[in-house]
């Protein structure tokens, strides 16, 4: 069967990213041809600025060389401009007369730099800043010419000015406004930027209007309206870009400022798609790569006929790629009109930050000097997080707010040595990450995770890896979109999936994946455990757990160890035990020759090294001795750590041990989005470390203080104080309500600490403390669910449930001819 | 006339059991002469057999989550193609696979001693 033919017009960043995404989804669907007007393979246009500044070479910025095209059986026609499209006959042709038929056509023609129609703007020596040819011409000019004038003090103009300066030219920037980069910066940041560029030697003509460019055979000077004349051997026009829609218009595609597309990146001609800067989507055009890459992903999804992804527009942030100048801007950074502005400025250190808030949410930010936290603000902005609780320290950055056991802000990413370890889990160093980003042409965090494993485990180094991406790529790079899909099988977010499960009464994993049109036949190892949990939580007692969608630890109810054996941790209620219990544990350990016993960090005893087939037997004996599963393996209630409290301790104010045991008896067996740990201390000396638990209780004379959202693991976070209550019955009610809120609203694998940071403590307080009726309903739902959850999984399996899980098959050997031959062999 | 390859030993087959003994989207460990083979069954009732040792650090693949024609290793989450034994890119590695025959509901796997090592 003949494959359909996909033709791509434009060999640039958006077009080729779409092809790459398409190949990932389905490499065999199309025969692909690419026509590019430029005489090159596909290169990273963003990095032209560092090339101009002499920090990179053209070779280093190639993304896909010709080998890549031939490896993927793509016909590349470089240096070939498409000049006509016959939409009736589905045919394109180039200026050199090559023509080809298409089944689908993709416009990715980018933009053109705007060249102001001034007298003299057609003189030799006047150029734009868009492609390799422009950079070549500028570099050629730097060899024997002295004076450069850049018209336009925006992002591109300043990068051009800096590059030309680095190459030894004297540079004047002419800017129409009295603030540089007025579309990205407020007056303060713009002034700081201007003075540091001036300190490097760039000269500025601000609030200046160019009247003409003059010269005999080539450019000699630039004349301003006010009569000033500036000598110029080279003029770079960087006053903006205009979507390149000439061809699309010519062939009758509906265009406004750009080629108009819908949420699937389809133009008004259903055979024709468009991506990149040439596109106008929901009235907006874009000039940065992050949104273009998001478009590419969606477009590829539809070209691959999966058809379940929509592009809904992007929020963008900007950084300037001038080495040594750190600048970040996003959203509505000007404020005014019912907005609040938080400002931090240290002129001495050259640091400025402004965060604009609307209704307690970040609407925009500008940063100058230190931009490490830019991605954090941007994240809070995209997720529309209520920042009331962070407000006090918001300007001091993320490290200040989250507590930090590891990577402090003092670790300046650029200053780090190449052998500095970035990812502790996988032992990946800075140098390895940087060289992989360059060699494998990576743009996204996910790519870096896949190729280097860095940040793919605990994720605590994510910010560092993102910073490395940004500093290696120089400019913006594609970040996760604001609506992060649950996994690669679906475009829907955790919240959307959960809401759909409830609304449409979906009660099995296939029901969900079919209803929401998953792109894979049976999901993957990321979404299936999440869906299983969401269903368990939504339909207690009704949903039949799909144990094949659980990670092995939860399927086997024990923790897998590096050698394939398992560990067994029985519950020791509240950490309190008896000689009889200990004796029984000792006997069982001896009977099964358990190699290691370890007193855990959670106040219980871990029996390590049990072979899988022995598990049901060990559990049977434990059950007989009165033990139940400790769920040390599950996204579930783990331990309740307690201290001895008023029973013994001279400072104890309440019976913390009894309180802990009551809490554990109430909560054990519950499945949660991530593991959930509790602690109860008998006084504020807090020996049970309750303030780093998911739910912590600290006894005081007058009752109990309740704390939530602590974490003692990868990133230490101390709890937020929720409220104080008088009685132990209230402790139980608040705990049940908090647990249920977390169970119902957190994303799978989101622990309480990041969850609270996402939704805000105020929100939690409002639901648990202020809303009495709501609290009681939450607690009641929790208790109801517990009726079905508190069944000891070990006892069930000791009695024979899922026996096949634990027993290896010992096969019969049969002779070859006894085995029927499969058809076709 | 007939080419007989005498260096290749005649394959021996192991009778693993019935198809329904292997859980859908799951696996069973088949233990034979000290060697563990992971026998997988997909949602579509396809059956595949791989040596039960992940090419990364030897994790037991039989314990992983089976999705599509892939399994995710339980130790460090490498994905392995069930049909080829190759690691899913960008990870690189390969695990030995064994031929499988399904006759009615009986499942047979080629014995490890009759195939070359990894
Ligand atoms: C056994 C134990 C270590 C010990 O011998 O003391 C342990 C062992 C493991 N911990 Fe832990 N953690 C143990 C107490 C802790 C504690 C201390 C505590 O609970 O008071 C912490 C810090 C407190 C906290 O969680 O906030 C802790 C923070 C972690 C983390 C980081 C969690 C985080 O949110 O940052 C992980 C990784 C994860 O869950 O993704 C982890 C993961 C693990 C795993 C499950 C790693 C794995 O996937 O195999 C280890 C399982 C070993 C096993 O088979 O038993 N373990 N782990 C402790 C069992 C406690 C228990 O009785 O159930
Ligand atoms: C110097 C510079 C610095 C930048 N810095 C950043 C940055 O830091 N961060 C950021 O996010 N973005 C930056 N950008 C913007 C970014 O490079 C663009 O957004 C991106 O390249 C646009 O991709 P595209 O595929 O839409 O267009 P392009 O990459 O321009 O590709 C379009 C291609 O189509 C070809 N073409 C056009 N018409 C035809 C035709 N009829 N037939 C055949 N071929 C045709 C063109 O020759 C061109 O090669 C920068 C741009 C420049 C120039
Ligand atoms: S027990 Fe916890 S801290 Fe120790 S090695 Fe395992 S995961 Fe790391
Ligand atoms: S052993 Fe399989 S992923 Fe590490």
Please write the tens of the pLDDT for every residue from A341-368.
999 988 888 889 999 999 999 999 999 9
Token representation of residue A265: 């990146």
Q: How far is the CA of B72 from the centre of ligand 4 (A)?
A: 9
Top-confidence residue, B80 or A289? B80
Given strand A695-700, what is the order of strands in its sheet? A637-642, A676-681, A695-700, A703-708, A720-725
Considering only CA atoms, which residue is closest to atom 48 of ligand 1?
A559
pLDDT (tens digit per residue) in B7-20: 445 568 899 999 99
A261, β-bridge pairs: A281
Using DSSP's 3-state secondary structure scheme, residue A120 falls into: coil
Q: Which of A625, A624, A585, A626 is nearest to A604 (CA)?
A: A585
**What pLDDT was estimated at residue A411?**
42
Shortest alpha-carbon distance between residue A810 and chain B (Å): 5
CB A694 within 8 A of CB A709: yes
A570, β-bridge pairs: A629
CB A656 within 8 A of CB A690: no
Alpha helices in A155-245 (DSSP H): 155-166, 187-200
Residue A374 preceded by cis peptide, ω within 30: no
Q: Which of B20, B22, B25 to mutate to test the interface with A (most CBs of A within 10 A)?
A: B25
Contacts of A197 (CB under 8 A, 6+ apart): A158, A161, A162, A173, A204, A322, A325
Instruction: Please count the residues of chain A.
Output: 825
Residue B32 has its nearest CB partner, among A528, A556, A811, at A811
**What pLDDT was estimated at residue A460?**
65
Q: Max Cα separation, chain B?
A: 52
**What pLDDT was estimated at residue B43?**
94
**What pLDDT was estimated at residue A279?**
97
Residue B67 has its nearest CB partner, among A440, A523, A821, at A523
Using DSSP's 3-state secondary structure scheme, residue A143 falls into: helix
Q: Is B73 in the pocket of ligand 4 (CB under 6 A)?
A: yes
**What pLDDT was estimated at residue B113?**
62
**What pLDDT was estimated at residue A399?**
62
**What pLDDT was estimated at residue A458?**
67
**What pLDDT was estimated at residue A56?**
84
Q: How far is the CA of A642 from the centre of ligand 1 (A)?
A: 17
**What pLDDT was estimated at residue A92?**
97
Q: How far is the CA of A1 from the centre of ligand 1 (A)?
A: 55
Q: What is the pTM of this model?
A: 0.69
Residue A814 has its nearest CB partner, among B15, B25, B60, at B15
Question: Distance (Å, rounded) from C-alpha A157 to C-alpha A150?
Answer: 6
**What pLDDT was estimated at residue B4?**
42
DSSP-assigned letter for residue A670:
-
Q: What is the DSSP string of A702-716?
A: TEEEEEE--B-SSS-
**What pLDDT was estimated at residue A407?**
40
**What pLDDT was estimated at residue A815?**
66
**What pLDDT was estimated at residue B1?**
40
Residue of B nearest to A549 (CA): B65
Q: Which residues of A touch B13 (CB under 8 A)?
A: 813-816, 818-819
SS (H, E, C) A559-601: EECCCCCEEECECCHHHCCCHHHHHHHHHHHHHCCCCEEEECC
**What pLDDT was estimated at residue A430?**
86
**What pLDDT was estimated at residue A600?**
96
CB atoms within 10 A of CB B116: 7
**What pLDDT was estimated at residue A447?**
84
Contact B28 A808 (CB under 8 A): yes
Residues of chain A with pLDDT under 50: 402-411, 477-481, 823-825
**What pLDDT was estimated at residue A376?**
78
Q: What is the DSSP string of A448-485?
A: HHHHH-TTSSS-TTHHHHHHHHHHHH-S--PPPPSS-E
Question: Distance (Å, rounded) from C-alpha A43 to C-alpha A586?
Answer: 66
**What pLDDT was estimated at residue A481?**
45
**What pLDDT was estimated at residue A409?**
36
Question: Distance (Å, rounded) from C-alpha A708 to C-alpha B83?
Answer: 47
Q: B89 burial class (0-12, 13-18, 19+ CB within 10 angstroms)?
A: exposed
């Amino acid at each position: 069967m003949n494959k359909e033919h996909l033709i791509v017009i434009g060999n640039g960043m958006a077009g080729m990213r779409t092809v790459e995404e398409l190949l990932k989804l389905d490499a065999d669907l199309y025969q692909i041809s690419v026509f590019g007007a430029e005489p090159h393979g596909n290169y990273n246009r963003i990095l032209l600025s560092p090339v101009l500044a002499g920090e990179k070479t053209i070779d280093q910025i190639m993304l896909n060389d010709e080998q890549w095209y031939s490896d993927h059986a793509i016909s590349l026609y470089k240096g070939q401009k498409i000049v006509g499209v016959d939409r009736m006959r589905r045919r394109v042709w180039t200026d050199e007369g090559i023509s080809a038929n298409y089944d689908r056509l993709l416009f990715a023609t980018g933009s053109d730099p705007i060249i102001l129609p001034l007298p003299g703007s057609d003189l030799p020596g006047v150029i734009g800043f868009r492609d390799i040819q422009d950079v070549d011409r500028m570099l050629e000019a730097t060899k024997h010419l002295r004076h450069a004038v850049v018209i336009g003090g925006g992002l591109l103009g300043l990068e051009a000015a800096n590059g030309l300066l680095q190459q030894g030219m004297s540079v004047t920037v002419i800017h129409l406004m009295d603030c540089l980069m007025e579309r990205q910066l407020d007056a303060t940041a713009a002034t700081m930027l201007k003075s540091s560029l001036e300190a490097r030697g760039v000269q500025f003509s601000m609030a200046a209007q160019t009247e003409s460019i003059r010269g005999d055979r080539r450019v000699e000077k630039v004349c301003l309206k006010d009569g000033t004349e500036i000598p110029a051997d080279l003029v770079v026009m960087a006053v903006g870009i205009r979507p390149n829609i000439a061809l699309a218009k010519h062939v009758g595609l509906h265009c406004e400022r750009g080629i108009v597309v819908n949420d699937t990146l389809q133009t008004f001609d259903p055979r024709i798609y468009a991506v990149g800067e040439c596109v106008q989507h929901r009235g907006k055009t874009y000039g940065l790569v992050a949104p273009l890459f998001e478009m590419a992903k969606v477009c590829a999804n539809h070209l691959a006929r999966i058809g379940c992804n929509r592009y809904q527009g992007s929020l963008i942030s900007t950084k300037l790629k001038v080495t040594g100048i750190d600048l970040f801007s996003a959203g509505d950074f000007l404020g005014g009109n019912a907005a609040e502005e938080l400002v931090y400025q240290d002129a001495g250190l050259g640091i400025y930050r402004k965060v604009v808030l609307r209704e307690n949410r970040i609407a925009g930010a500008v940063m100058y000097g230190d931009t490490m936290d830019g991605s954090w603000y941007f994240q809070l902005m995209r997720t529309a997080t209520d920042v009331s609780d962070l407000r006090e320290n918001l300007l001091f950055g993320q490290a200040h707010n989250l507590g930090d056991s590891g990577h402090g802000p003092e670790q300046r990413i650029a200053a780090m040595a190449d052998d500095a370890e970035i990812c502790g889990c996988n032992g990946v160093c800075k140098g390895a990450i940087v060289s992989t980003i360059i060699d494998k042409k990576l743009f996204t965090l996910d790519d870096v995770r896949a190729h280097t494993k860095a940040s793919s485990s605990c994720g605590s180094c994510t910010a560092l890896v993102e910073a490395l991406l940004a500093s290696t790529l120089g400019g913006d790079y594609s970040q996760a979109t604001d609506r992060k899909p649950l996994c690669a099988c679906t475009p829907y977010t955790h919240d959307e999936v959960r809401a759909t499960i409830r609304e449409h009464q979906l009660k099995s994993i296939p029901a969900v994946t079919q209803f929401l049109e998953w792109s894979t036949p049976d999901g993957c190892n990321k979404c299936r455990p999440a869906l299983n949990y969401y269903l368990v939580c939504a339909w207690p007692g009704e949903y039949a757990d799909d144990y094949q969608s659980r990670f092995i630890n939860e399927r086997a109810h024990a923790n897998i160890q590096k050698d394939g054996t398992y560990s067994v941790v029985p519950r020791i209620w509240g950490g309190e035990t008896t000689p009889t219990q200990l004796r029984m544990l000792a006997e069982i350990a001896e009977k099964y020759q358990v190699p290691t016993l370890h007193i855990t960090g959670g106040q219980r005893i871990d029996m390590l090294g049990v072979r899988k087939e022995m598990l049901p037997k060990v559990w049977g004996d434990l059950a007989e001795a009165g033990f139940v599963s400790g769920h040390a393996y599950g996204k579930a209630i783990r331990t309740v750590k307690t201290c001895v409290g008023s029973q013994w301790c001279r400072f104890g104010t309440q019976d913390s041990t009894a309180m802990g045991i009551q809490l554990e008896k109430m909560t054990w067996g519950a499945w949660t989005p991530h593991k959930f740990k509790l602690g109860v201390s008998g006084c504020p000396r807090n020996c049970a470390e309750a303030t780093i638990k998911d739910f912590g209780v600290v006894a005081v004379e007058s009752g109990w203080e309740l704390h939530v959202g602590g974490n003692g693991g990868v990133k230490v976070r101390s709890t937020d104080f929720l409220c104080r209550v008088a009685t132990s019955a209230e402790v139980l009610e608040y705990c049940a309500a908090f647990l249920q809120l977390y169970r119902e609203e957190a994303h799978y694998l989101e622990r309480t600490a990041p969850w609270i940071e996402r939704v805000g403590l105020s929100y939690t307080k409002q639901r648990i403390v202020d809303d009495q009726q709501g609290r009681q309903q939450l607690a009641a739902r929790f208790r109801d669910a517990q009726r079905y959850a508190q069944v000891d999984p070990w006892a069930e399996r000791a009695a024979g449930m899922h026996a096949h899980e634990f027993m290896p098959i010992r096969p019969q050997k049969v002779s070859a001819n006894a085995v029927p031959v499969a058809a076709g062999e | 006339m007939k080419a007989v390859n005498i260096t290749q030993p005649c394959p021996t087959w192991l009778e693993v059991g019935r198809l329904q003994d292997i859980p859908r989207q799951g696996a069973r460990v088949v233990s034979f002469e000290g060697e563990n083979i992971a026998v997988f069954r997909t949602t579509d009732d396809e059956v595949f057999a791989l040596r039960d040792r992940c090419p990364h650090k030897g994790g037991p693949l039989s314990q992983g989550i089976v999705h599509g024609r892939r399994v995710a290793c339980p130790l460090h989450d490498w994905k392995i193609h069930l049909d080829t034994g190759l690691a899913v890119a960008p990870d690189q590695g390969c695990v030995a696979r064994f031929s499988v025959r399904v006759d009615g509901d009986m499942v047979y796997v080629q014995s490890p001693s009759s195939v070359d090592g990894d």
